Amino acid sequence: MFSKILIANRGEIACRVIKTARRMGIKTVAVFSDADRDALHVEMADEAVHIGPPQAAQSYLVIDKIIAACKQTGAEAVHPGYGFLSERAAFPRALAAEGIVFIGPNPDAIDAMGDKIQSKIFADRAGVSTVPGNLGVIESPEEAVVVARDIGFPVMIKASAGGGGKGMRIAWDASEVADGFARAKSEAASSFGDDRVFIEKFIVNPRHIEIQLLGDKHGNVIYLNERECSIQRRNQKVIEEAPSPLLDEATRRAMGEQSVALAKAVGYDSAGTVEFVAGQDKSFFFLEMNTRLQVEHPVTELITGIDLVEQMIRVAAGEKLSITQADVKIDGWAVESRVYAEDPYRSFLPSTGRLVKYRPPAEGVKDGITVRNDTGVVEGSEISMFYDPMIAKLVTHGPTRLAAIDAQAEALDSFVIDGIQPNIPFLTALMQHERWRAGNLSTGFIKEEYPDGFTGRATDEETRAVLAIAALSMDLIRRERLEHHTGRLRPASGKWRTDYVVRLDREHIPVTVPEGYAAVPLEIDVTIAGRTLTVTSEWRPGEPVWIGSVGGDTVAVQARPAPGGTLLAWRGVTTFSRVMTPEVAALDALMPVKQPPDLSKYLLCPMPGLVVSISVAEGQEVKAGETLAVVEAMKMENVLRAERDGTVSAIKAKPGDSLAVDAVILEFA
């Protein structure tokens, strides 16, 4: 077994590998760019080596710098994580030339299956069912249009290298092909250093199901069941689960055996994943093979009890698999949410900055529920514009699918992130979505269910009651604390106040409490909307999450101070709250509502990012839908289009500018 390994990656996956290596008694070496000098993976590793500037193409993607770091520290092997160099066959070959072991598959297998175009050709020749498409590299926008018409719309324009949703565009007609081709090539080049793209048929209403494989260097390959990753946005996975609610045992076995046969045909000898697009009728087609560890591997680990990183290390050291196919079981259900630095209320655009607060839910096993949080940040970490926007992967495991979903919802509600806007409101709202809970999924789920973007979950009576009760209980606890504050002459006297009104945005909700209640810790019967509910909580002023029991159900409500009240968030509903007497509430209801300013004459930068191009000139007339500018953030190019017809009166930015959110790019007459 190795005594020291280097992790050629960053963020949560580097931390994940370090945890397993530490448990195995293996010392670790981290590498870091200028942007990651104070990152968590650098702190966790036994040693760390600086490898260059923030841009991945000048640091994490430079093979010579990784090899130099190995020689400097005496690392015997390298774990590539995912992304960066993990699927580039030149990397393990360069390592082997220096006598360094690659913790992953052999380079010939990467060549055969790691390239999307070559893997499809190989699979097609091997008799594996594949999605109809053109398996050649597309050289120009004009050729892309011809190929797309031959295949038939809609088509998927996809980068040959890499993954993670980068370099992928769907085109529904010829007019969308040229722009999609340019964006896919540009993203592929900046993310993977390889701008080759190909085109395949886009299957409508598909599901994304993948088989986890594990092979060794002695010819053994097994499959560790499936994961479903159908909840995607812009071709990037958001929610993953294992097993899939679609598959039955016969389909699972067929997909698994086909994947194993494919892996054996190319001599695959590590952890890898065969991805399929599946129809609602359980038909399936080979998409690609990811010759690396997947982002969503924790859900497989939780239902099988197998540490995939440990198995990769043992296989790389020459050990035979100690697990047979008969040993692989399915124990319960696991759900994973990718917590991204993306603002769900701004079309999920990147949100960069410093984590002023970062307090994930408690990890561990309690009452048959497991909570796991794979992360690469701590409170005070900076979310950089140079890398993927993922903050953490929150995983829950329970005996049933709904138990795992409900545990995920509670954990998300308890997840505190301030300083940037995470996608948690969307994730926790999705956990309540009836279609998701029923397992009626497709890769178009988010686009179909949120066609106009995410604006928050609609409130219902239960939600309003919980939020009003949380607001009132916090107010009562604050008052009790002030009553007994050190230095106060005496507590208030007189008749107990029992009638209150809680304002949630513009709605006023009457609430009644009994006299003589216990406020610290809170234990009280609250009457609201004709129901009396027992409420308990040990919340203290200043805590960012109100955790309590409402009618016997455990509830976690996010709470942040706001001018004149408290901002509350629960299950995807965010609302301003204020507790008042009935007399004050009657006057408050008469107050006018302040209207937001008119910004329709400005094109604002929707997120912190780098201006790639400006497509218009001053005085130019533009039509609705016309491209105005392209802004890049976190390796994704975002095309900003005109919302209506107009004339450009002033240009306030130029290519190469780094802009803050809501910075003015253009003005219109």
pLDDT digits (tens, 9 = 90+) for 529-560: 999 999 999 999 999 999 999 999 999 999 99
Look at residue 358 and tell me whether its pLDDT is greater than 70.
yes
Per CATH, which fold does 602-668 belong to? OB fold (Dihydrolipoamide Acetyltransferase, E2P) (2.40.50)
Taking the C-alpha atoms of residue 106 and residue 222, their distance in angstroms, rounded to an integer, is 17
- Please give the share of the chain, as a percent, with pLDDT higher than 90: 75
β-pairing, 545-550 vs 553-562, is: antiparallel
Find the mean pLDDT for residues 68-74: 98
Taking the C-alpha atoms of residue 498 and residue 511, their distance in angstroms, rounded to an integer, is 8
Burial class from Cβ neighbours inside 10 Å (0-12, 13-18, 19+) for residue 228 reads: buried
Q: Are 317 and 327 in contact (CB under 8 A)?
A: no
Taking the C-alpha atoms of residue 489 and residue 481, their distance in angstroms, rounded to an integer, is 14
Look at residue 125 and tell me whether its pLDDT is greater than 90.
no
Length of the chain: 669
Going by the DSSP 8-state scheme, the letter that residue 369 receives in this structure is E
Element spanning 201, H or E? strand 197-201
Q: Give the CATH number of domain 132-201; options: 3.40.50.620, 3.30.1490.70, 3.30.750.24, 3.30.1490.20.
A: 3.30.1490.20
Q: Give the CATH number of domain 4-103; options: 3.30.70.890, 2.40.10.10, 3.40.50.20, 3.20.20.80.
A: 3.40.50.20
Phi then psi for residue 206, to 5 deg, are -85, 170
pLDDT of 661: 86
Q: What digits encode the pLDDT tens for the residues 162-216?
A: 666 778 899 999 989 988 998 898 888 887 888 888 898 888 789 999 999 999 9
- Domain-wise residue ranges, the chain: 4-103, 132-201, 207-331, 336-450, 461-486+494-588, 602-668
Q: Are 420 and 393 in contact (CB under 8 A)?
A: no
Phi then psi for residue 177, to 5 deg, are -70, -50
Q: What digits encode the pLDDT tens for the residues 418-451?
A: 999 999 999 999 999 999 999 999 999 999 999 9
- Token look-up 């709904």 returns 402
**SS3 of the chain: helix, strand, coil, percent, to 5:** 30, 35, 40
145, two tokens: 């249009």
pLDDT band at residue 495 under the 50/70/90 scheme: confident
* CA nearest neighbour of 450 among 435, 437, 439: 435
pLDDT band at residue 76 under the 50/70/90 scheme: very high
Q: Are 335 and 239 in contact (CB under 8 A)?
A: yes
Burial class from Cβ neighbours inside 10 Å (0-12, 13-18, 19+) for residue 25 reads: exposed
DSSP bridge partners of 33: 52
pLDDT of 235: 83
CATH superfamily of 207-331: ATP-grasp fold, B domain (3.30.470.20)
* Single-letter amino acid, residue 9: N
Going by the DSSP 8-state scheme, the letter that residue 130 receives in this structure is B
| Mean pLDDT score of the chain | 92
Angle at alpha carbon of residue 397, lines to 393 and 399, rounded to 5°: 165
Alpha helices in 266-366 (DSSP H): 297-304, 308-316
* CA nearest neighbour of 59 among 30, 38, 87: 30
- Does residue 483 or residue 255 have the better pLDDT? 255
Where do the DSSP E strands lie in 406-552?
A: 416-418, 499-504, 507-512, 518-519, 522-528, 531-537, 545-550
- Token look-up 């893997």 returns 119
Find the mean pLDDT for residues 630-654: 88
* Single-letter amino acid, residue 21: A
β-pairing, 284-290 vs 333-340, is: unpaired
- Please give the share of the chain, as a percent, with pLDDT higher than 70: 99
Find the mean pLDDT for residues 649-660: 92
Look at residue 416 and tell me whether its pLDDT is greater than 80.
yes
- Does residue 226 or residue 458 have the better pLDDT? 226
Q: What is the 3-class SS of 425-442, one letter each residue?
A: HHHHHHCCCHHHHHCCCC
- Does residue 181 or residue 518 have the better pLDDT? 181
Q: Are 629 and 563 in contact (CB under 8 A)?
A: no
Find the mean pLDDT for residues 637-665: 91
Going by the DSSP 8-state scheme, the letter that residue 84 receives in this structure is T
Find the mean pLDDT for residues 637-663: 91
Taking the C-alpha atoms of residue 40 and residue 45, their distance in angstroms, rounded to an integer, is 9
β-pairing, 197-201 vs 27-33, is: unpaired
Reply yes or no on domain 461-486+494-588 having CATH 3.30.1490.20.
Answer: no
Alpha helices in 506-563 (DSSP H): none
* Single-letter amino acid, residue 272: G
Active site residue 288: yes
* Single-letter amino acid, residue 406: D
pLDDT of 164: 65
Look at residue 457 and tell me whether its pLDDT is greater than 70.
yes
pLDDT of 635: 67
pLDDT of 163: 66
- Token look-up 């030339």 returns 97
Identify the CATH class of 336-450: alpha beta
Look at residue 517 and tell me whether its pLDDT is greater than 90.
no
* CA nearest neighbour of 271 among 211, 324, 213: 213
pLDDT of 295: 96
Element spanning 44, H or E? helix 40-44
Going by the DSSP 8-state scheme, the letter that residue 638 receives in this structure is E
β-pairing, 333-340 vs 565-570, is: unpaired
Element spanning 463, H or E? helix 461-483
Q: What digits encode the pLDDT tens for the residues 282-326?
A: 989 898 899 999 999 999 999 999 999 999 999 999 999 999 999
Domains 4-103 and 602-668 share a fold: no
CA dihedral 322, 323, 325, 327 (to 10 degrees): 130
pLDDT of 597: 81
420, two tokens: 């940037």
Taking the C-alpha atoms of residue 207 and residue 223, their distance in angstroms, rounded to an integer, is 20
Look at residue 231 and tell me whether its pLDDT is greater than 90.
yes
pLDDT of 61: 96
Taking the C-alpha atoms of residue 88 and residue 162, their distance in angstroms, rounded to an integer, is 9
pLDDT of 194: 86
pLDDT of 496: 83
- Which of the residues 176, 228, 288, 296 is marked catalytic? 288
